[in-house]
Amino acid sequence: MSAPIYGRVALIGLGLIASSMAHAMRRANLAGEITGHARSAATRETAAEIGLVDRVCDTAAEAADGADLVVLCVPVGAMEAVAREIAPVLKPGATVSDVGSVKRAVIEAVAPHIPEGVHFIPAHPLAGTEHSGPRAGFAELFDNRWCLIVPVENSDAAATARLSALWEGMGAHVDVMDADHHDLVLAVTSHTPHLIAYTMVGVADDLRRVTDSEVIKYSAAGFRDFTRIAASDPTMWRDVFLTNKEATLEILGRFTEELFALQRAIRTGDGDHLHDYFTRTRAIRRGIIEAGQDTAAPDFGRGAASARKEG
């Protein structure tokens, strides 16, 4: 097995993404030592009990002290406080990264706290499930998925290449993207779809048919898939919408226009419009399967692999 890419990696936040990183780093011997910290004692105890990392620390600063790589794996709204706390202990030459689902807001929150001589290289793995917490992670989460690296001004090329090598070692493909473009792309591919899923499940709940069991009993793929997405962590998704406001509102505006057009086509009986529209969308699905980002298997999100989604 090859030598680790980083001597010591600190994971701040020990939820789905951090725990998957810990498993994936161990699988390929990518880190000499992994330290970790989570806000609550309960999560820290669970992490220690399952041996998730080599050392569970009571504070973020303790975990980050002396680390070669510190990865912020907390909800986007918590990034600034963590960055402020760890700043004084970061060692010169170390890299700070994150896995936040929104990039511009994280850069604005974290960059001002990064000391001279420390590299800041934001990243976002496009992989996730609706499960949270330290027990939710698994080593294969990032296999064959994309990790977008979003370098900031003057990001060091060697430090960026090293972080890319870590993500590739964890099974991901790496691409580099500008923060604003990232936030717009994710608003289309992930954030707005989540909002729509939350809305659809909320509507069914409002109609009080979910608890009446008919909606559950007869839930075909459509509604069932929405419920899976709508089961995602409320804190994480609250923060995504609060921090990727502009791009989400932009895409939501377009979505609403298209929805009105479809609504009109249904009312006026314009079958050609509906058929053309659905033909176009079907081709997009084919493209995703051809790109290896999903399988054509009709398991409607129940299998482990297809339960993955993007944050």
Task: Return residues touching ligand NAP (CB under 6 A).
Answer: 12-18, 38-40, 43, 60, 73-76, 78, 81-82, 99-101, 124-125, 128, 132-133, 233, 236, 311
- Give the span between the Cα atoms of 60 and 42, in whole angstroms: 15
Residue 258: CB minimum distance to ligand NAP, A: 25
**Phi, psi for 102 (deg, rounded to 5):** -125, 140
Closer CB to ligand NAP, 10 or 18, in the complex: 18
Minimum CB separation of residue 208 from ligand NAP in Å reads 29
What are the φ and ψ backbone dihedral angles of 121, each rounded to 5 degrees?
Answer: -130, 95
Distance of closest approach, residue 124 Cβ to ligand NAP, in angstroms: 6
Q: Which two tokens stand for residue 92?
A: 């010169």
Q: How far is the CB of 128 from ligand NAP (least distance, A)?
A: 2
For the chain, the DSSP string reads: -PPPSEEEEEEES-SHHHHHHHHHHHHTT-EEEEEEE-SSHHHHHHHHHTT-SSEE-SSHHHHHTT-SEEEE-S-GGGHHHHHHHHGGGPPTT-EEEE--S-SHHHHHHHGGGPPTT-EE--EEE--B-S--STTS--TTTTTT-EEEE---TT--HHHHHHHHHHHHHTT-EEEE--HHHHHHHHIIIIIHHHHHHHHHHHHHHHTT-STTSHHHHT--HHHHHHHHHTTS-HHHHHHHHHHSHHHHHHHHHHHHHHHHHHHHHHHHT-HHHHHHHHHHHHHHHHHHHHTTSS-----TT-STTTT-B--
For residues 41 and 296, which CB has a smaller minimum distance to ligand NAP in the complex? Answer: 41
Q: How far apart are CA 236 and CA 117, in angstroms?
A: 31
Closer to ligand NAP at the Cβ: 130 or 156? 130
* Residue 219: CB minimum distance to ligand NAP, A: 22
Using CB atoms within 10 Å of the CB of residue 278, give its burial: 0 to 12 exposed, 13 to 18 middle, 19+ buried: exposed
Question: What's the min distance (Å) between Cβ of 83 and ligand NAP?
Answer: 11
Q: How far is the CB of 126 from ligand NAP (least distance, A)?
A: 7
Instruction: Report the residue number, 100 or 151, with the smaller CB distance to ligand NAP.
Output: 100
Please name the amino acid found at residue 141. L
Q: State which residue, 9 or 99, has the beta carbon closest to ligand NAP.
A: 99
Which CB sits closer to ligand NAP, 21 or 30?
21
Smallest gap from Cβ 276 to ligand NAP, in A, equals 33
Q: Which is nearer to ligand NAP, 56 or 201 (CB)?
A: 56
Nearest CB to ligand NAP, comparing residues 16 and 118? 16
How near is the Cβ of 155 to ligand NAP at its closest, in Å?
20
Q: Which is nearer to ligand NAP, 82 or 215 (CB)?
A: 82
Structural tokens at position 63: 């975990």
